[in-house]
Amino acid sequence: MENNKKTRKSAEIYPSTQVSPAVIRRLPRYYRYLRELIRNGESRISSGELSKMMQVTASQIRQDLNCFGGFGQQGYGYNVNYLFTKISEILGVGEGYRGIIVGAGNLGKALVRNRMFERRGVDIVAMFDIDKNVIGKEYGGAKVLDMSELKKFCDQTSVDIAVLTLPKSVADETIPLLEDAGIRGIWNFTGKELKCSDETVCEDVYLGDSLMTLCYELRTRGNLSKDDD
Amino acid sequence: MENNKKTRKSAEIYPSTQVSPAVIRRLPRYYRYLRELIRNGESRISSGELSKMMQVTASQIRQDLNCFGGFGQQGYGYNVNYLFTKISEILGVGEGYRGIIVGAGNLGKALVRNRMFERRGVDIVAMFDIDKNVIGKEYGGAKVLDMSELKKFCDQTSVDIAVLTLPKSVADETIPLLEDAGIRGIWNFTGKELKCSDETVCEDVYLGDSLMTLCYELRTRGNLSKDDD
């Protein structure tokens, strides 16, 4: 993967008007479908075909992509490679972000080996923990360093993203350390809502909430089918 | 944890009218905050205090909880334990669901050890894989069985939920096996949209999408702060 580290060269693709969070949330899904199309050797697709595949209306697709200037041509459809590249740029894939994983427990170790970081252009450069039993070990190419070295490490190697996989009981006290080290993005797996400064971007993953939503759906559907009997 | 396995005793708490998915999605958050209050020894809370804590309007809170008949008393506020119990029931916590993890790779092994299952009343009874190197091993109290034994296992021990942590390339072919084994809930970590039957409930976790949303936010905020200079 080409590394455009810190070179914000593509200012022209920023939307001139505010794009709604709903559209932004949908873009990664386009990204996934387009990647699949590229893998299957498809070079163009009509909004109708894309619509059928993604099960959203063609008009929704046109609207979404028009937010960014639109990349389709009447009668030709979308150039898959071009659209994929543009969406990648919009999403910040290939910005060359550097990440660390804070908390080298089971989840941290599982995530560091996940190829999604590489695919999304995020380079995981180290892991941090306070447990002497894991400090010094290496997982998925990333070495576990002592939390006390965080600031020094980040002074030498600027870090954009911290993946928080530590226990929720120590989550709050960790935030100022990360912010002090110049980290601006936090990917939060602690299951706790964090108190970050306004400058920090925090994306939360609440696995427990997702599991409960599944249980709720199972339960209500189970009830419905019982009523159907 | 008390096990009410398969006893659907609490039909009276089902909402009589359709509750919007938006409200359902918010309930796990109430669940988290109420659990925290219980841990801190709080027995009651006003909608105003809850509102301040959760950073949503008191009117929103009243509206949300009214969908389920409302559990507050004028001038007294909410009984924290009662509300927590009710929301747990609504969400299906304590239904005694049984789960399996399909795919005993890094993520599967990390998840099986995660206490969220126990906390949400889901009992992970086994893991499944096709890799001879992990079959027979035990992680977090769950033994890894051969995928070929899935049907037989589920015939003996009814399973409600399959946590899919296998490679996306084999995700689609696994669905019919799960459905055939009577599994109705799928928690999908494969990063691929699955083709399930209408009877199956599928809850997707797209970690890659979440990571890209973070990158997008980082990138646009970075741009904004540059403009501010």
A70-118 pLDDT tens trace: 666 667 788 888 889 888 888 888 788 999 999 999 999 999 999 899 9
Q: Would you say residue B200 has pLDDT above 70?
A: yes
Q: What is the mean pLDDT of residues B139-165?
A: 96
Give the span between the Cα atoms of A97 and A114, in whole angstroms. Answer: 16
Q: State the first-to-last Cα distance of chain A, in angstroms, to the nearest integer.
A: 56
Grade residue A224 by pLDDT with cuts at 50, 70 and 90.
low
**Residue-level pLDDT at A97:** 94
Grade residue B224 by pLDDT with cuts at 50, 70 and 90.
low
What is A97-208's CATH superfamily?
A: NAD(P)-binding Rossmann-like Domain (3.40.50.720)
Q: Which comes out higher in pLDDT, residue B226 or A55?
A: A55
Does A91 contact B215 at a Cβ distance shorter than 8 Å? yes
Q: Nearest C-alpha of chain A: how many angstroms from B71?
A: 19
Q: Would you say residue B69 has pLDDT above 70?
A: no
Does A209 contact B28 at a Cβ distance shorter than 8 Å? yes
Does B8 contact A222 at a Cβ distance shorter than 8 Å? yes
- CATH architecture of residue range(s) B18-91: Orthogonal Bundle (1.10)
Q: Would you say residue A6 has pLDDT above 60?
A: no
Q: Sheet of B122-129: strands edge to edge? A: B138-139, B142-146, B122-129, B97-102, B161-164, B185-188, B201-204
List A residues 146-175 in contact with B (Cβ-Cβ < 8 A): 160-161
**Residue-level pLDDT at B67:** 74
Q: Nearest C-alpha of chain A: how many angstroms from B90?
A: 7
pLDDT in tens, A26-54: 889 999 999 989 988 888 898 889 999 99
A6 interfaces chain B, CB cutoff of 8 Å: no
Q: Nearest C-alpha of chain A: how many angstroms from B165?
A: 11
Domain(s) of CATH 1.10.10.10: residues in chain A: 14-91
Grade residue B18 by pLDDT with cuts at 50, 70 and 90.
low
Among B28, B93, B106, select the one facing A113 at the smallest CB separation: B106
A22 interfaces chain B, CB cutoff of 8 Å: no
Q: Which two tokens stand for residue B174?
A: 């696994």
**Residue-level pLDDT at B19:** 72
Domain A14-91 sits in CATH at 1.10.10.10
Q: Which comes out higher in pLDDT, residue A74 or B130?
A: B130
How far CA B19 is from CA of A47, A215, B66, in Å, comes to 33, 15, 10
Q: Sheet of A44-45: strands edge to edge? A: A44-45, A77-79, A72-73
Q: Nearest C-alpha of chain B: how many angstroms from A136?
A: 20
**Residue-level pLDDT at B72:** 67
Q: Which residue of A has its CA nearest to B89?
A: A216
Q: Which residues of B touch A182 (CB under 8 A)?
A: none
**Which among B100, B130, B137, B134 is positioned nearest to B117, based on CA atoms?**
B100
Q: Would you say residue B155 has pLDDT above 60?
A: yes
Domain(s) of CATH 3.40.50.720: residues in chain B: 97-208
**Which among A74, A90, A96 is positioned nearest to A23, based on CA atoms?**
A90
Among B28, B105, B211, select the one facing A206 at the smallest CB separation: B28
**Residue-level pLDDT at B24:** 82
Give the span between the Cα atoms of A98 and B145, in whole angstroms. Answer: 38
Which residue matches tokens 């110049």?
A182
pLDDT in tens, B88-104: 888 888 788 999 999 99
Q: Which comes out higher in pLDDT, residue B84 or B6?
A: B84
Q: Which residues of A touch B90 (CB under 8 A)?
A: 216
Domain(s) of CATH 1.10.10.10: residues in chain B: 18-91
State CA B79 to chain mean position distance: 24
Give the span between the Cα atoms of A33 and A54, in whole angstroms. Answer: 8
Does B214 contact A187 at a Cβ distance shorter than 8 Å? yes
Q: Nearest C-alpha of chain B: how many angstroms from A162?
A: 11
Q: Which two tokens stand for residue B129?
A: 């894989």
State CA B123 to chain mean position distance: 13
Whole-structure pTM value: 0.82
Q: Which residue of B has its CA nearest to A225?
A: B199
